Copies of this chain bind each other. A is one copy, B any other.
């Protein structure tokens, strides 16, 4: 399969809506060119694993198309999804920098493409290009914040309905850039949503029914429409 549009970092960056948020954007041209040399691009189908919790870190993946869920599992098979990464996100950075095993598993939930940069060559590159260090710290910091968000989701919300309301509103917030923030494309199954908010598939299913009945939201195919945002916000803080 031929990629539908440019896959290298420069091209991706050129079309990236919020450049300053991403590790490898807004860099000087020579640095970008070097990056382009050391990266290798691959296409990943749905449910492909980029890396698995516990593996020794091989390097980082810069997602340029598609979505990947980052999760951790217990040996009994229970799993928690910490984040659903999208284009521009750098995956596996913590493990690669600190040379500890990947602390999470990264699995594609939508088919996509990613640039891989091996650990050795990345570290060498960092040593030679100090300007990257700041970006790196920012990305690490962003990872940390999203982990804290998950802690709040799991630890502070008292009921599953509160958690789901919180999740939907955070989705709506992230989509604020796009045309209509009340329209959200749902690419996750109920099971996966349950794994984000720390409940069961059945409960998520029941909550969606309940929210629909209460006119809080509406579902059109894979598109979720938020009908009563204030009510959802109130649920969050009840």
Contact = CB atoms under 8 A, between A and B. Distances in A.
Interface stretch (A6-14, A61-69, A133-141, A182-190): A133-141
Contact of A94 (B72, B76, B141, B155): B141
Given A80-B155, A97-B138, A143-B144, 15 more contacts: A74-B152, A74-B157, A79-B156, A80-B151, A94-B144, A100-B145, A103-B145, A103-B148, A133-B137, A140-B144, A144-B144, A144-B147, A150-B151, A151-B151, A154-B154
Nearest to A149: B103
Nearest to A70: B148
A82 B151 contact: yes
A72 B151 contact: yes
A60 interface: no
Contact of A136 (B74, B78, B79, B137): B137
* Candidate in A136, A138, A151, A152 with the most chain B CB atoms within 10 angstroms: A151
Interface residues of A, number: 38
30 contacts: A72-B148, A72-B151, A72-B155, A72-B156, A73-B156, A74-B157, A75-B237, A78-B155, A80-B152, A80-B155, A80-B156, A94-B145, A97-B137, A97-B141, A98-B142, A103-B148, A130-B133, A133-B133, A136-B137, A137-B140, A140-B140, A140-B141, A143-B144, A144-B144, A144-B147, A147-B147, A147-B148, A147-B151, A150-B151, A154-B155
A150 B145 CA distance: 13
A40 B137 CA distance: 25
A192 to B, nearest CB: 14
A59 interface: no
A155 B137 CA distance: 27
Contacts of A133: 130, 133, 137
Contacts of A130: 130, 133
Contacts of A150: 151, 155
A198 interface: yes
* Candidate in A144, A145, A156 with the most chain B CB atoms within 10 angstroms: A144
Contacts of A80: 151-152, 155-156
A232 interface: no
Interface string A156-179: 111000000000000000000000
